[in-house]
Amino acid sequence: MVSSPDLQLHPWPEQSTSHSFDSPDLPPEFQWLRSPEPLRFMSLEARPGFLRLTGMASLGSWFEQSLVARRQETFCFSAETMLEFNPLNFQQNAGLVCYYNAHKYHYPVGICG
């Protein structure tokens, strides 16, 4: 039997759960889908203090969506955002979504445009 080494605890630092998007880089816990060029649909510089997303394909698409995501880390959580959204027709949406894949996602009530 091999004994385990006597290592000191090394806890991960607490991450902020609130983001103001006031830096030129997206925080590392945020990711996006299916685009090697995120500047095609998002900007932190066009309006400082805001994350600007330009519409792309729908959430059910296997191509490029305008989706910036953060992993859910706990079973129970709450999320909120503020947004400006000017839809041109009923098929355009904006807001928060719980996203698993192109077939499994849920819009919270009252977010769709």
- Report the number of secondary-structure helices (H) and strands (E) in the chain: 0, 6
Is residue 94 left, alpha or beta, with left meaning phi > 0 and alpha meaning psi from -120 to 50?
beta
Token pair of 24 as six digits? 């030129």
User: Of the residues 29, 64, 73, 80, which is catalytic?
Assistant: 64
To the query of whether residue 64 is one of the catalytic residues in this protein, the response is: yes
d(CA 49, CA 43): 10
Q: Which residues are catalytic?
A: 64
